[in-house]
Amino acid sequence: MSNAVELTQENFKDAVAKGVTLVDFWAEWCGPCRMIAPVLDELGGEYAGKATIAKVNVDDAPGLAEEFSVQSIPTLLIVKDGQEVNRFIGVTGKGDLAAALDAAIG
């Protein structure tokens, strides 16, 4: 999780208000979440300065999970200037995530 920003109920809106953010809704007990973590770390390094990679622990921030209708984890949102522009549910390939980030960045 070295390249990811930890988001909470308190800092979420400010963190995603400007620019492009990939938000990973996850939990420590979730096996698929652990499988995708290295991919997100790689993307964090590759998109440094262009997009933010962030994580929301659904156990710590259930209100955010409810607000974004997260029913299964991992759920990954691409947020641009505070608005969701793409959503992936389950383990998603690096290429698909990179393409979505590129499209959001423009």
Residue 33 annotated in active site: yes
12-71 residue pLDDT tens? 999 999 999 999 999 999 999 999 999 999 999 999 999 999 999 999 999 999 999 999
| Given the residues 30, 46, 60, 87, the one annotated as active site | 30
In the chain, the domains with their CATH numbers are: 5-105 (3.40.30.10)
Residue 14 annotated to the active site: no
Average pLDDT over residues 76-89: 98
User: Is residue 3 very low, low, confident or very high in pLDDT (cuts 50, 70, 90)?
Assistant: confident
pLDDT at 2: 54
Q: Which amino acid is at 12?
A: F
* First vs last C-alpha separation in the chain: 26
Catalytic residue among 4, 33, 53, 77: 33
Strand order in the sheet with 75-80: 5-6, 52-57, 20-26, 75-80, 83-89
- List the structure tokens of 60: 């710590």
Q: Are 52 and 38 in contact (CB under 8 A)?
A: no
